[in-house]
Structure 1
Amino acid sequence: MAKLFFRYAAMNAGKSTALLQVAHNYEERGHRVRLFTAQIDDRYGRGTITSRLGPQREAEVFGPETDFLALPLQLPEVSCVLIDEAQFLLKPQVWALHELAHVRNVPVICYGLRTDFQGELFPGSATLLALADEMDEMKTICDCGRKATMNMRVDANNRKVTEGNQVEIGGNARYRAVCGRCFRQQA
């Protein structure tokens, strides 16, 4: 029986790297995978999953209008669906991915952030936390050496930003993965 997986972490934990490795493992054994990334994420170009280590790969994009159940995503043609930037999924999309796993028997592995720069759940992440059959927290560390669990938005002077839109695409120049203590102390 297939499952819906959610692999989450703060930024810079290797989520995209892990996704690319899983895709490689399936394909090396002759299986076909479908890769998706958020349409809104254009840091490395639309439709590209890129690891900070360098590997990258073209992927299909999902946006608010994407209906995963309308796409040809079933066995034996597709052995696994892999989704990067899963925090940007909408609640109905997560429910559709749950159906893919439990009705069509296609494993779905989602990688994404759990919370935003204010410590609030993203809608996609909240629904994945509710519906995923298995969840794995991927680890990264804060500058202080503790486990980083928070995503801190910073300005051009590296000062913590506490207000703004939930979604603002950016990388290392805009966000830092920090532990809860550093997140609180840098308020």
Structure 2
Amino acid sequence: MAKLYFYYAAMNAGKSTTLLQADYNYRERGMETMLWTAAIDERAGHGTIGSRIALSAPAATYDESVNLFDAVVAELIRRKLDCILVDEAQFLTQGHVLQLTRVADELRIPVLCYGLRTDFQGKLFPGSAALLALADTLVELKAVCDCGRKATMNLRVDADGLAVADGAQTEIGGNYRYIALCRKHFFQRLNEGKARQMSLGLARR
């Protein structure tokens, strides 16, 4: 029976690298794959899954308008598919995840999703929440905090490396970057960011 998998981790744990390795393993055995990534994320180029170690592969893109089940069925008319691999899975909608369950259950094609679990405030992304609820198999990929403990959280920092405590859930590129931290140091720095932003707000009054 095909399964829906969710591989989740903090930033810089090698999620995209792991996806590309899985894709290579399938293709090396003569199997056919279909890759997907979020249309909103163009850091590696539109329709490209890129990793920090310079591996990349072309991929179809999804946004809210795309029905993943219908797209897979359309691709099946053209060729056989042995596995579906989805990068940046935190950007999936609940509807997307339900469509992917149908791919696994009705089309009997394994679906491997890779993404973040939580955002820069420690809140679940909608896609991740749906995957945590519906995936058959959950796999945590490991990242490491500066202190040496397992990193499970993602902190948004500005150009000066200071924690950003508020803003839109999705902020790709721009003046921000993200660092992986353990829970203790995530909340320590997030609270420092909240205090700093509050003091700046009071100073402007």
TM above 0.5, yes or no, is yes
Runs of 4+ in 1 over 3 A off after TM superposition: 73-76, 170-173
Residue 48 of structure 1 corresponds to which residue in structure 2?
48
Larger radius of gyration: 2
How far residue 170 of structure 1 moved from its aligned partner, in angstroms, is 3.5
- Secondary structure at the aligned position of 2:151 is classed as coil
How far residue 44 of structure 1 moved from its aligned partner, in angstroms, is 1.5
How far residue 171 of structure 1 moved from its aligned partner, in angstroms, is 9.4
Q: Deviation per CA, 1:1-54: give whole Å up to 9, x if none.
A: 000000000000000000000000000111110000000001111111111011
Structure 2 residue identity aligned to 1:154: V
Moved more, 131-140 or 173-182: 173-182
Structure 2 residue identity aligned to 1:25: N
The TM-score normalised by the length of structure 2 is: 0.88
Task: Check the 8 A contact 1:155/1:174 in 2, yes or no.
Answer: yes
Residue 21 of structure 1 corresponds to which residue in structure 2?
21
- Secondary structure at the aligned position of 1:24 is classed as helix
How far residue 58 of structure 1 moved from its aligned partner, in angstroms, is 1.0
Q: Deviation per CA, 1:52-103: give whole Å up to 9, x if none.
A: 0111111111111110121125597000000000000000110000011011
Q: Is 1:5 aligned to 2:8, yes or no?
A: no
Q: Is 1:113 aligned to 2:116, yes or no?
A: yes
Structure 2 residue identity aligned to 1:132: A
The TM-score normalised by the length of structure 1 is: 0.96
Structure 1 residue identity aligned to 2:141: M
Structure 2 residue identity aligned to 1:107: P
Residue 30 of structure 2 corresponds to which residue in structure 1?
30
Structure 2 residue identity aligned to 1:54: A
For residues 22 and 35 of structure 2, the distance between their equivalents in structure 1, rounded to whole angstroms, comes to 11
Q: Deviation per CA, 1:153-180: give whole Å up to 9, x if none.
A: 0011101101000000149961000100
Structure 1 residue identity aligned to 2:25: N
Larger % of helix: which? 2
Structure 2 residue identity aligned to 1:20: L
Q: Of residues 92, 103, 106 in structure 2, which corresponds to 1:103?
A: 106
Aligned ranges for residues 78-97 of structure 1 at < 5 Å?
78-97=81-100
For residues 168 and 138 of structure 2, the distance between their equivalents in structure 1, rounded to whole angstroms, comes to 27
CA RMSD, Structure 1 to Structure 2 (Å): 1.6
| Gapped regions of structure 1 (runs ≥ 5) | none
Task: Check the 8 A contact 2:159/2:175 in 1, yes or no.
Answer: no
- Secondary structure at the aligned position of 1:95 is classed as helix
Equivalent residue pairs, number: 187
